[in-house]
Structures are given as C-alpha cells and as structure tokens.
Amino acid sequence: MTDLLRKPTGTTGKVHDLTPETAGWGYVGFGLYRLKQGEKAAEQTGETEVILVLVEGKAEFSGGGKVFGELGDRMSVFEKTPPHCVYVPAGTDWLATATTDCTLAVCTAPAKPGREAEVIGPAGIALTERGKGANTRYIFPIAMEDRDVADSLLVTEVFTPSGNWSSYPPHRHDEDNFPEMTYLEETYYHRLNPSQGFGFQRVFTDDGSLDQTMAVSDGDLVLVPKGHHPCGVPYGYEMYYLNVMAGPLRKWRFQNHPDHDWIFQRDKA
C-alpha cells in the first residue's frame, strides 16, 4: 500500500502535487500552491475538471476563457469565512496571480469538456454544524452533490474545534454499490491552529488489511484509498481540513463502522 501521509515538498511554489498516478488510484488529484505577492500559477486542465479553492489570501483569476478579477478576503483559514472558489472545465486552462501572499488548492478529477468556468464561492456556501459533543465540527460544503457545479468533484472544508474528533464515527465509502454506498477516493489537506500543533488520522479497513495511524502536522496531506478514516485534534489546537472526493458516481453514500455505529444512532435520537 502506498504511503498515505504526504508532507509538503517546500514552503513556496507548488508544495503538493498529487496525481492519480502518484496516488495509485483512478480519480482524485490535489495540488497546493503557496504563492508570494506577484507570483503566478497556471495549468492546463487536460482531461480533468478543476475546482480552485483560495484557502488564504487574494489572487486574480482567469480560466476557461473568462476573466474573474481579484478574489479572496480570508487572510487566515481559521477566520472561518466562506472560501472564494473557481470551477474550470476540462480541455481549458487557468491562471492565478497572487495579489497578496496566498495559499491555493487545486482539486481535480476526470471529466469531459462542456461546462462553463464560473466562480462557485463564497456565494452559496454557508457554515453548517455537524455532530454532537466532542464530535462537533463545522462544514463549508463547497461542492457537494446538492450543488450542480461539477461532473465528478466533491469538495468541502471542515473545522474541528480544540479537543474534538471529526470524520467520526468511523465511516467508509469504498464500494461502488449505490444507493447503499459509493466508491469515492479522498484526500485530506490538514491545517493546525496554532501551526505548531498536531492531529491524528487513522485509515483502516474492517478486515485489517489496511491500518495506518498518522500524526499530521500543519500542511500535511492524507490519502484515503479505502476504509474508515477518523481524525482528531488535541486540546489547545483546532484543525482544518479540505476534503476532495471523486469516483465513478458524484454522490456521497457511506456506511459507519458496525462497532461504532451506535454513536451515530444515539446522536440521531
């Protein structure tokens, strides 16, 4: 099994560059640029659609034959304001020019040309609460299935308060068996506040064929090819992560681990 924990390769430029080939799977790609004011990032989309998420800072964007001007107002991701995002279809290209220091995520999945490039956030993205007690977290659903803004991509941001668990109870979405479950590969781009903090993420299957527990630092990327994938953050630190999911069907259907589903059932009562 490929290494599921990917460290950033530097502090500037393209510090994450995950493709389906380097991940050992078929759908999800993830890139991350850390740009200084005035620096540019540009890519061809090829056979993938792209959702650009301005994690922090401001930048001028163009893509798919359109010019969108300057976007962004969240200088720290932990301000918890909705992100500015741009959809760029397959068969085109995009360009971002940083107007302040910025962090730009590039979320990709296979798609056919035909959609229009468009700004898909912050309008239409509202903070929602999920879970109870120490399982409480807060979500910005950037491009989940209730928004018809992509062919394949599902993208969301999650804020996990100090001392809490997230993606919990443990759940999986690794079988192409709709409507009971959908096969979705997934990445987690983690941030910690304060940045010297750490969190934990476990990725494991029911049969034990995969079981990795990782300490994640600010800026790390975790791959979830299959299995359950809860994460948590110690007291004194809060955790952010950006999820990217994709598979053969753009729907999110999962099943909780049978040993821990009682927590979900109790909380629903």
Domain-located, residue 3 = no
CATH number of the structural domain spanning residue 263: 2.60.120.10
Which pLDDT belongs to residue 74? Answer: 97
Domain-located, residue 139 = yes
Task: Write the pLDDT tens digit of every residue in 235-257.
Answer: 999 999 999 999 999 999 999 99
Which pLDDT belongs to residue 194? Answer: 98
pTM, rounded to two decimals: 0.97
Task: Write the pLDDT tens digit of every residue in 201-248.
Answer: 999 999 999 999 999 999 999 999 999 999 999 999 999 999 999 999
Domain-located, residue 143 = yes
- Report the mean per-residue pLDDT for the chain: 97
Looking at the 3D structure of the chain, how many domains does it have?
Answer: 1
In three-state form (DSSP H/G/I as H, E/B as E, the rest C), the secondary structure along 119-162 is EEECCCCCCEEECCHHHCEEEEEEECCCCCCCCCCEEEEEEECC
Which pLDDT belongs to residue 1? Answer: 47
Domain-located, residue 2 = no
Distance CA 177, CA 146 (A): 20
Average pLDDT over residues 186-194: 98
Task: Write the pLDDT tens digit of every residue in 8-38.
Answer: 999 999 999 999 999 999 999 999 999 999 9
Phi and psi based region of residue 15 (left: phi greater than 0; alpha: psi -120 to 50; beta: remaining): alpha
Cβ–Cβ < 8 Å for 40, 98? yes
Beta 211-217 vs 198-204: how paired, if at all? antiparallel
- Boundaries of domain holding 195: 8-268
* Count of Cβ atoms closer than 10 Å to residue 182 Cβ: 22
Domain-located, residue 137 = yes
Which pLDDT belongs to residue 9? Answer: 97
Domain-located, residue 240 = yes
Task: Write the pLDDT tens digit of every residue in 137-170.
Answer: 999 999 999 999 999 999 999 999 999 999 999 9
Distance CA 40, CA 76 (A): 20
Confidence of residue 267 (pLDDT cuts 50, 70, 90): confident
Domain-located, residue 43 = yes
Average pLDDT over residues 102-128: 97
Residue 102 has pLDDT above 60, yes or no: yes
Confidence of residue 268 (pLDDT cuts 50, 70, 90): confident
- In 3D space, the residue among 171, 112, 108 whose CA is nearest the CA of residue 143 turns out to be 108
Domain-located, residue 1 = no
Residue 98 has pLDDT above 80, yes or no: yes
Which pLDDT belongs to residue 2? Answer: 67
